Structure 1
Amino acid sequence: MRADHVIADRYRLDEELGEGGMGVVWCATDLELGRAVALKRSRDGDTGQIRREARIGAGLLHQNVVTVFDTVVDGEERWLVTEYLPARSLEQVIEADGPLPEDLVARIGAQLADALAAMHARGIVHRDVKPGNVLVTGDGTAKLTDLGIARWAEVTRTGGAQLTGTVGYVAPEVADGHDAGPAADVFSLGATLYAAVEGHSPWGTGEDGPFVQMRRAAAGRVDPFRRADRLRPVLTALLRVDPAGRPTAAEATLALAGGQEVPPRRPGPPGRRRRRLAAAAAGVGAIALVTTFALTAGPPERDGDLPGTLGADPAAADPCAALSTDALAGFGEAFIDPELGNFGTCVVTTTLPDEAGQVQTHLDLTGPLRYPPRPPTPGQVGGIERPDVRDGACTRALPLADLNRVVITSRPLDDAENTPVCAISEAVVGTVAQMLANGPLPHRAQPLPSWSLAHVDACALLSGSDVATALGSVEAGDASLGGWQCDWDHDRRTVRVHFSREWPIEDDADVVGTRIRVGDRDAVIAATGKTCQVQVVHRFYTPPSVLHGTEEDREEIVVVDFKDPGGTDQAALCETARTLAAAAVARLP
């Protein structure tokens, strides 16, 4: 999108103001009314997200909440139209000016608390209060913005284990696996004001990565105050670990405005605080999170089984352990299928409400990238990678402390349109972050069968002479996680061998290609552009459970790809691929 483009024959885009994980915001001119407005569109074209934000914003008319004017459709995209405020975000103010005077922070805080009180009175929870979502004008007027993940409290599902909000400002109970309620908004307000006074999040500066902040949040370990003086009592109250002990947003408004003392603590149920502290001291600060994920307890921690990793034996990690149907309950009915794709893959299919279609999400455990988008830091979890949506698929990737990766890709199925693919990917990556913040990914409850390709080294299926015949040079194979994929390349030509689990390919009309035999095994061969692929059946089997209405059986298959960008003869391309497949089959157990 470029400046001067006109949206819906009315709004001229003037300047891109910024973008985040979910949306892009422009300053625009309303050509009909001659006023400046702000236009926001979802990064993935998800009209559901924009409509939800519009509906929530339309119910709020408050001087300290950015006003929603309308939504408009332009082509296949829906835009949210809001008031334009010539202001900086509080995050930008802190970055540029450093810690702020307490009087200014108190004025900003009182305005934001009043806005939250109005939201909570209408049954709305913001769920992402942070400095980046607060706009501050030159005269000190503050306005809360970005209602993209806000929810009506009466439809908010509890126990969803979906991380909402931003790690540096998330409430302990949310980091601990519970859904965000009004008290979580109050905590996030306190965390935002703490950052304005102290210069960083109450969970630390973030230099050690988001997982360290997540663990501190789950344990409720707030950084000590160093600058706060007059505001220390009210900030302490807002940042209480027990949600029941925090003031309401309305009480916070009066306290920040100086109209009354900080309300006394309201204790929670007997023993609740003691249990939380005992759990944190024992290093298991997410007991509720484990319950929410419905996981069985794993074996005692082994050497190398550290938080933020796949554990000492990454090939034994269970990718489905990082998925929760509860985390996706807000999007529809989800079903987890552990018997599709690579052995480091878990697939969840979400059926959207009102027959809107389905979204399929693949969670893949992978080894380190040969050429990562940014250099990883051993021992530290990296930031979430959010590449652009491609061919309707939305990917989120999380580099781990052991340099392995978790990659989540959501895509619509069949005729599904305007599906929230990026929102689903964000929900899943938040779930993964919560789990790994407190330990490694659990092992599979049952080891894979002895006959499975899971115990085969893909690199061992082709010899040096096999590779030299295809590439013109003997190259060492590049093995992936578990040895379930191997890549060779030379002079732009590439060979790949990898394993997968699929519905039976022989009679599947969706599997394009010619049915052949390779050795004594069924196979399918197909050329696409400069690549020829051969899929060879290794073993037919019946898994213990499948999604109702889908194929009941599965096959483990060996996939051989040969790519030659300089080749012009597809027949020759496929003959090489078939020769490679035959060599691989001969070495299968």
Structure 2
Amino acid sequence: MKANHETSDGHSRDKEREIEREASVLQRLTALGAIDRTYFAAAKTSPPGARWVAARWIDGSAMWPALAHARDDDTPAARNLLTTVTVTLAGALAELHAVRFTHADVQPTNIRVTPDGVGVLLDYALACGPEEHAARVPYRGALTHTTAPEVAAELLATGEHVHVQTLPPADMWALGATLFWCWTGERPVAYRDVDGGRAGMLRDIADGDRLRDLAAVRPWHFLAIEDLIAACLADDPSARPTAAAVAESLGRPTAQTKAEQDIRSGT
């Protein structure tokens, strides 16, 4: 449950509007069939009284701890987990993109991994849909480390009250960044100055030349996931795969191929 909490001076930093908007988005996505109809539980968005929105609890854990053993060693279980999480997240994004919505906040803490390895998207407060921009709190980005280069550039070029509309390729960059981070243990961008503040990190992302070499930080070789991450992190949004294409391409068994066995053994 999310609830509005006013500050001591009576202000709530737009949380009322955010909660109202998330409730509205969840209702719309449920009606469109883009999310599980049991996910959105209830909401109170009108005064008097506190505003709140509630969603169904998802058993499991956040993505970072869920992928901990996949950062340790190459096992069939680790491969299956990485593949299942990726396929199910891509499938969820494909449903959103099909109705002209983007999640706009794909990141490890907004993903729940169930005990059977299904990745579930959470937190639709920042979702961008086909609507009048004036009807929402302006989107000014989400977690910096999973911000696509084109979004980073637009955030830097516009004022803090200007809405930046995200498109599906930005979700795909964020998915690639999230997979990179949770599998390797390293953020995808090597910032010039980690203490330089958000603007400096956004500039490094927008420049597009600070991506870490996945081959240098991967815990083990998994060609299918490596190729997918590289494709999602393409600087050109049009070069990134669609969510539907990712879900389809990985929707098959993940046994280690002979070529990958040869690479790992050095032959």
TM over 0.5: yes
| Shift of residue 81, structure 1, vs aligned partner | 1.5
Q: Deviations over 1:189-209 (max 9, x none)?
A: 111111122112211489924
| Shift of residue 105, structure 1, vs aligned partner | 1.6
Computing the radius of gyration from Cα coordinates, the structure with the larger value is 1
| 1:194 aligned partner | 180
In structure 2, give the amino acid aligned to 1:53.
Answer: E
Distance in 1 separating the partners of 2:3 and 2:115: 27
| 2:194 aligned partner | 208
Written as runs of structure 1 = structure 2, the 5 A alignment for 1:38-57 is: 39-44=1-6, 45=12, 46-57=15-26
1:222 and 2:216 equivalent? Answer: no
Distance in 2 separating the partners of 1:65 and 1:232: 33
1:78 and 2:51 equivalent? Answer: yes
Specify which structure has the higher proportion of strand.
Answer: 1
Residue 185 to residue 156, structure 1, CA distance change in 2 (3 Å): farther
| Shift of residue 85, structure 1, vs aligned partner | 1.4
Distance in 1 separating the partners of 2:252 and 2:119: 18
Determine which structure has greater relative contact order: mean sequence separation of CA pairs < 8 Å that are 6+ residues apart, divided by chain length.
Answer: 2
Q: Deviations over 1:379-426 (max 9, x none)?
A: xxxxxxxxxxxxxxxxxxxxxxxxxxxxxxxxxxxxxxxxxxxxxxxx
1:117 and 2:94 equivalent? Answer: yes
| Shift of residue 109, structure 1, vs aligned partner | 1.0
Distance in 2 separating the partners of 1:196 and 1:65: 29
Residue 126 to residue 177, structure 1, CA distance change in 2 (3 Å): same
Distance in 1 separating the partners of 2:152 and 2:38: 27
The answer on whether the counterparts of 1:42 and 1:49 sit within 8 Å (CA) in structure 2 is no
In structure 2, give the amino acid aligned to 1:168.
Answer: H
| Shift of residue 162, structure 1, vs aligned partner | 5.5
Q: Deviations over 1:209-251 (max 9, x none)?
A: 4545323211112111132532111111111001011111111
The answer on whether the counterparts of 2:25 and 2:124 sit within 8 Å (CA) in structure 1 is yes
| Shift of residue 156, structure 1, vs aligned partner | 4.9
Distance in 1 separating the partners of 2:233 and 2:4: 32
Distance in 2 separating the partners of 1:65 and 1:223: 39
Q: Deviations over 1:441-500 (max 9, x none)?
A: xxxxxxxxxxxxxxxxxxxxxxxxxxxxxxxxxxxxxxxxxxxxxxxxxxxxxxxxxxxx
| Shift of residue 257, structure 1, vs aligned partner | 2.3
Q: Say what the alpha-carbon RMSD is for the aligned residues.
A: 3.0
The partner residue of 2:125 within 125, 137, 148 is: 148
Q: Which runs of 5+ in 2 are unaligned?
A: 7-11, 73-77, 156-163, 254-267
Q: Deviations over 1:70-114 (max 9, x none)?
A: 1026853111111011221113435x6572734312210111111
Written as runs of structure 1 = structure 2, the 5 A alignment for 1:31-180 is: 39-44=1-6, 45=12, 46-58=15-27, 59-60=29-30, 61=33, 67-72=39-44, 76-94=49-67, 97=69, 99=71, 101-156=78-133, 163-177=140-154, 179=164, 180=166
% same residue: 27
| Shift of residue 258, structure 1, vs aligned partner | 4.2
Distance in 2 separating the partners of 1:218 and 1:139: 36
Distance in 2 separating the partners of 1:91 and 1:200: 11
In structure 2, give the amino acid aligned to 1:219.
Answer: D
Q: Deviations over 1:540-561 (max 9, x none)?
A: xxxxxxxxxxxxxxxxxxxxxx
Q: How many residues align?
A: 218
The answer on whether the counterparts of 1:64 and 1:115 sit within 8 Å (CA) in structure 2 is no
Please give the secondary structure, in 1, of the residue aligned with 2:71.
Answer: coil
